[in-house]
Amino acid sequence: MVVSGVRILDRGIFSDIIVLMLKLTDERRARGPYVVIECPEKIPCDPCVEACPNKAISMPGSMIELPRVDYEKCTGCLMCIPKCPGLAIFVIDETPDDYSIIYIPYEYLPRPKKDDIVQGLDREGKPICEVKITKVIDSPKFDFCAILGFAVPKDMAQKIRMIKLR
Ligand code: SF4
Ligand code: SF4
């Protein structure tokens, strides 16, 4: 659901995320890939701040605050995804006409391969629909955390956050 350019996530537990996404306008979503940080707990943690080469992530006050995103600085470069120990960072690209692409952190082995069809799951692990892997980035500098990109139906971009191999 979109209200005044703010995408409302499904569950009350994510109310803080809604605040973090307040400046994510429809115009920005249409312009290119953008980061989504789903970090609902205030814990002393801040690797995401250092991970961003564009200084798009900040933590005003202290490292126990929730991270904030400047969507004018975020280029959707993916670099923050594998640096989050909580696997709480995603990037979404809504620019393709017929589908959206979700990029997620993925620590399991074996990795899926490009063009594999896998099961897309929601935040609670519930199956949503089949999705097609579009990209696998598996670099040693990411400390065994790969980045997977997969194509999903347009209306699933804010629902699917995990995959399960078939
Ligand atoms: S996707 Fe790239 S530019 Fe955007 S917040 Fe993450 S590291 Fe920064
Ligand atoms: S690195 Fe991840 S868990 Fe830590 S504050 Fe940033 S988003 Fe939250």
Q: Report pLDDT digits (tens) over 47-75.
A: 999 999 999 999 988 889 999 999 999 99
Pocket of ligand 1 contains residue 58 by CB under 6 Å: no
**Atom 1, ligand 1: which residue's CA is nearest?**
76
Report d(CA 47, CA 158) in Å as an integer: 24
CB 123 within 8 A of CB 13: no
Residues in Cβ contact with 60 at an 8 Å cutoff, skipping those fewer than 6 apart: 68
- Per-residue pLDDT band for 2 (boundaries 50, 70, 90) equals very low
Per-residue pLDDT at 20: 57
pLDDT (average), residues 87-98: 97
Does 91 have pLDDT greater than 60? Answer: yes
Q: Report pLDDT digits (tens) over 9-23.
A: 444 445 545 445 657
CB 110 within 8 A of CB 126: no
Q: Report pLDDT digits (tens) over 68-84.
A: 999 999 999 999 999 99
Written as six digits, the tokens of 31 are 């312009």
Tell me the whole-structure pTM to 2 decimals: 0.89
Pocket of ligand 1 contains residue 6 by CB under 6 Å: no
